Amino acid sequence: MDESLHTINDVMTAAVSLQNVYKFYNNVPVVKDLSLTIETGEIFGLLGPNGAGKSTTTRMLTTLTKPSQGQIQVANYDVVRHSQQVKQRIGVVLQQTSVDGELSVWENLELHGRLHHIPNPQRQQQIEQWLAYVELLDRRHDRVKTLSGGMKRRLQITRALLHQPDILFLDEPTVGLDPQTRRRIWEIILDLNREGMTILLTTHYMEEVEYLCKRIGIIDAGKLIELGTLPQLRQKYGEGLVMKQAEDRWEYQFFPTLEQANAYIDQQPIKTGMMGRPANLEDIFVELTGRNLD
């Protein structure tokens, strides 16, 4: 197959495509030459330290801000020229609580449904079905400000799904939630994906990415610095890790396998303060960016 034809075909079948995208604020690039494709039906994790350009990238993908250069397509529509069509095909759950606390659970969804021109009785049926699915049906008449943080997050997800989008953008969907609630939201995300929904996830929780995401993109200083599945990244950087205590900090050294990491420790005359273990995503992230997410 002709290579250019293959590339065009990839863009046409991708859920999300960014090609040589830049975003400048006051002539300072916060996103630099970003090219990335998210496949239809995958859960894609976007990681990066604070200030890396994750939020700006998400804002461009969801039509909230325009790219300065380059091309972005979402659901086969250009985000600048066809922003209305893009909005109809995406659902967005922002990190900040964006539901109206003074309205009831049902009223929030009713307003959203009307804004998307979902006709009755279909609108009422969908609201009831989704509230039952996220276990909020018994709270439908309660004011949102009386809900717990986890309930508000589930309501935000429900609202994002009400107009039946093809692609769901989740920005830190479980931040600040207790472990049980986080797990429930993970189950919801996986269920939606099994039904065919494409999901882009930004998060600070490494275990969330490891549990949910097929592929992972790491951006730093506005640039994509790594891309792949977790097994691919572990194979590239090393499956085994040796931790060595050096005064008040730990030094990390990667090895191709855990066996080689342990063999290295066995060869050392002084083993005090040394430990071998399997490498995880956080180890790779710190190796690449030189700092933790926080």
DSSP for the chain, written as a single string = --HHHHHHHHHHHEEEEEEEEEEEETTEEEEEEEEEEEETT-EEEEE--TTSSHHHHHHHHTTSS--SEEEEEETTEETTTTHHHHHHHEEEE-SS--S-TTSBHHHHHHHHHHHTTPPTTHHHHHHHHHHHHTT-GGGTTSBGGGS-HHHHHHHHHHHHHTT--SEEEEESTTTT--HHHHHHHHHHHHHHHHTT-EEEEE-S-HHHHHHH-SEEEEEETTEEEEEE-HHHHHHHH-SEEEEEEETTEEEEEEESSHHHHHHHHHH-S--TTEEEEE--HHHHHHHHHSS---
Residues of the chain with pLDDT > 70, as a percent, come to 95
Give per-residue pLDDT as tens, 187-217. 999 999 999 999 999 988 899 999 999 999 9
Same-domain pairing of 150 and 243: no
Q: Confirm whether 31 is domain-assigned.
A: no
The domain total for the chain is 2
Does the structure show a pLDDT above 60 at 292? no
**Tens-digit pLDDT profile for residues 121-178:** 999 999 999 999 888 999 999 999 999 888 998 899 899 999 989 999 998 888 888 8
9 belongs to a structural domain: no
Domain hosting residue 166, numbered range: 40-64+78-231
Residue 139 sits in the same domain as residue 264: no
pLDDT tens for residues 41-98?
999 999 988 888 888 999 999 999 999 999 999 999 999 999 999 999 999 988 777 7
Question: What is the value of pTM for the model shown?
Answer: 0.86
Indicate if 189 and 254 belong to the same structural domain.
no
100 and 159 assigned to the same domain: yes
